[in-house]
Amino acid sequence: MPYHSIVCVKQVPDTANITGEAMKADGTVNRAALPTVFNPDDLHALEVALDVRDRWGGTVTVVSMGPPKAADVLRDCLYRGADRVILLTDRRAAASDTLATSYILNQAVRHIGNYDFVFCGRQAIDGDTAQVGPQCAEKLGIPQVTYLERLIDLRDRTARIRRNVGNGWEIVEVRLPVLVTVLDTAGEVRPPAARRVMKYKRARVRAELVAAVAAAGGAGVSPADVEREVERRAETLRSRGLMLEQWDLDDIQADLKWCGLAGSPTKVHRVQSIVLTKQGYTEIPPTEEGIRRLVRELVVDHTLG
Ligand SMILES: Cc1cc2nc3c(=O)[nH]c(=O)nc-3n(C[C@H](O)[C@H](O)[C@H](O)COP(=O)(O)OP(=O)(O)OC[C@H]3O[C@@H](n4cnc5c(N)ncnc54)[C@H](O)[C@@H]3O)c2cc1C
């Protein structure tokens, strides 16, 4: 019996290389200025979905919400074995916090439909909230299993999952459909397959074609010319199965009051790299007073609390 999985993957700023341009004056993340990477936990979410398909049959569909540049992680998913990828891009979704992000992803999952699993990473390395998966499950009205470390078995639409709860494991059974968040300790991820890289490296979403045609045409080219050339290139890609799906908020019937800044009660005040400056070390006597002093020091320099 085949199982259909939807995987939510995020392109994230490479937090190991945060620069002074990370934040815009309005407190939103300046994603265009930062080098980006595939959110590490999401690579494991993809791997678990591909493993389900390899063991029991079915399909793997990947969705990512982000700027057109996020098409890079979707191509990476195709290189690793995904069957279908969808970019959800819309300026009206910019600056969405986790509430808005999970609402939009829930609308996208409903629009894809016919799924047995929704796989998310445990958390994204930029927002680091681990909130989107559970919030999305809530909006979809389906059960959730977080912190998957191994999918043990799948039988009669019931999944048996080992989850890591920090100080041990828990084995749970859950009826499908279910949303699962995956840990980065859930085994090895398969590398991109050279044959698939050759096949999909020219795959594009519409927004990338528009940007390429506009850049090639320069200032003198009329919007109608751009449109005609974009359509010609899209037709060529479609004929080769290389035109990637691109959806906006209208395509998923999203209610705009739940999207973007309008739908986001959270305001990110400031993002900064914490650089530990203290040289040398402090000797702490193993006494109650010693521990109390240590905790006070860690609170004072904002390492704790
Ligand atoms: C430094 C910083 C702090 C922030 N703090 C908060 C905060 O406290 N509260 C808040 O509401 N927002 C916060 N945000 C905004 C938050 O990053 C975004 O809302 C984001 O879209 C989702 O939250 P997250 O990055 O924490 O994702 P998480 O909840 O950690 O993501 C979990 C999983 O959800 C899926 N997912 C998340 N985003 C997407 C996406 N765009 N496309 C596809 N799948 C996705 C992935 O599978 C991912 O592994 C913060 C952003 C930054 C940069």
> Is the distance from the beta carbon of residue 120 to the nearest atom of ligand 1 less than 6 Å?
yes
Q: What pLDDT does 223 receive? A: 86
pTM: 0.88
Q: What pLDDT does 90 receive? A: 97
> For 166-172, what is the mean pLDDT?
94
Per-domain residue ranges of the chain: 3-205+244-258, 208-237, 275-305
> Is the distance from the beta carbon of residue 267 to the nearest atom of ligand 1 less than 6 Å?
no
> Is the distance from the beta carbon of residue 197 to the nearest atom of ligand 1 less than 6 Å?
no
DSSP annotation string for 189-250? PPPPPHHHHHHHTT-B-HHHHHHHHHHHH-TT--HHHHHHHHHHHHHHHHHTT-B-EEE-TT
- The whole-chain average pLDDT of the chain stands at 91
Task: Report which of residues 218 and 121 the model is more confident about.
Answer: 121
Check pLDDT > 70 for residue 275: no
Check pLDDT > 80 for residue 96: yes
Which amino acid residue places its CA nearest to atom 27 of ligand 1? 124
Q: What pLDDT does 188 receive? A: 95
66: CA distance to ligand 1 center in Å?
Answer: 11
Q: What pLDDT does 277 receive? A: 63
Torsional sign, CA 61, 66, 69, 73: negative
May I ask the CATH class of domain 3-205+244-258? alpha beta
Distance from the Cα of residue 259 to its chain's centroid: 17
> Is the distance from the beta carbon of residue 261 to the nearest atom of ligand 1 less than 6 Å?
no
Residue type, 176: L
> For 141-153, what is the mean pLDDT?
98
> For 263-275, what is the mean pLDDT?
75
